Every structure is written in C-alpha cells, then in structure tokens.
Amino acid sequence: MKTVMVHYKLKPESVADNEDLIKQVFIQLGRDKPAGMRYQVFKQADGVSFVHLSAFDNPAGNPLTQLESFKAFTAGIKDRCVEMPVTMELQQVGRYDHLA
C-alpha cells in the first residue's frame, strides 16, 4: 500500500472555503466508495495548516485524484495557500487500529 502525506498552510480567510471543499470530497467518497484506499484530513492547532493522508493499493495511482470533487478542491489550492502543498511518500513502520 502506498501512503502519501500532503501539508500546506492557508490564508486565514480561505479556511472555511477549504473545509467546504474537503467536505465535498468526503461526500463523494461516501457515495462512490472507491476500493483499496484510505483518506484522512487533519487541521493543525494553528487553525490554518492542514495535513492530508492518503493510502491506496492501486498501482495505477491514487483513486482520490480521479474524483471530480478532489479536482475541484485542487483547482484553486494555490490561491488559498500561503505555504504551497508539499507532498511526501511515507513508508509504514507499524500500525495499530483497535479504537474500541
């Protein structure tokens, strides 16, 4: 499974729009249910920095990038940011999922 992390910092006035666009991505994910992927988005304590984590099995690429809602999200990202997105691939060392 390939895991990718993206980090960026927004202009304060862009946070609400960014969150609305992210919500649309999750709505489409919930509707389309693409197989073999995980996706999480976190807002950091400063209120303007975001981290996206995406893990996927598809050797052809991340199914997330094919979603219309994700394309809409990425279309204006440069205008919303004060620090542009930085993408890095991560290699899992360990994992624990028991949340109950």
Higher pLDDT, 98 or 22: 22
Domains and CATH numbers, the chain: 2-90 (3.30.70.100)
Question: pTM (2 decimals)?
Answer: 0.90
Higher pLDDT, 16 or 98: 16
Q: What is the DSSP letter of 13?
A: G
- pLDDT-based confidence at 99, cuts 50/70/90? low
Q: What is the DSSP letter of 14?
A: G
pLDDT at 90 over 60: yes
User: DSSP characters for 23-89?
Assistant: HHHHHHHHHH--TTEEEEEEE-TTSSEEEEEEEE--TT--GGGG-HHHHHHHHTHHHHEEEEEEEEE
pLDDT at 97 over 90: no
Q: For the segment 3-62, what is each residue's pLDDT rounded down to a tens digit?
A: 999 999 999 999 999 999 999 999 999 999 998 899 999 999 999 999 999 999 877 788
